[in-house]
Copies of this chain bind each other. A is one copy, B any other.
């Protein structure tokens, strides 16, 4: 069982930008980048939304060519397609990730959705 991914040359710039233009998906990409090398499964993003909703956003990222998902047992190990994105759009992913790092308005993995009173 493998999931459908676009080939490197099928990755479209407007589509990548549109897919990244969503706070939840940008938060997923930021977290993937912060753990680069460590493949993550879907449930590690549950802070960002419901299981169903994450399935939707992760499919969008995969179909746009931003992430790769490898099926391992009942898990999907998700990684950034840094190699292909860098080849296709040099510097784009790095500048997007760098910009997300300081973005306090983005949702975050490991952060409560609602601020608990201090």
Binding site for B on A (CB under 8 A): 12-23, 26, 88-92, 94-96, 98-100, 103, 105-106
User: How many angstroms between the C-alpha atoms of A88 and B99 in the bound complex?
Assistant: 8
Q: Using Cβ atoms and an 8 Å threshold, which residues of chain B touch A17?
A: 17-18, 20-21, 26, 96
Q: Using Cβ atoms and an 8 Å threshold, which residues of chain B touch A22?
A: 14, 18
- Name the one of B23, B26, B89, B106 contacting A99, with C-beta atoms under 8 angstroms: B89
Can you tell how many copies of this chain the complex includes? Answer: 2
Do residues B100 and A13 form an inter-chain contact, with CB atoms below 8 A? Answer: yes
What's the nearest-Cβ distance from chain B to residue A65, in Å?
13
User: How many angstroms between the C-alpha atoms of A91 and B105 in the bound complex?
Assistant: 20
Find the B residue at minimum CB distance from A100. Answer: B13
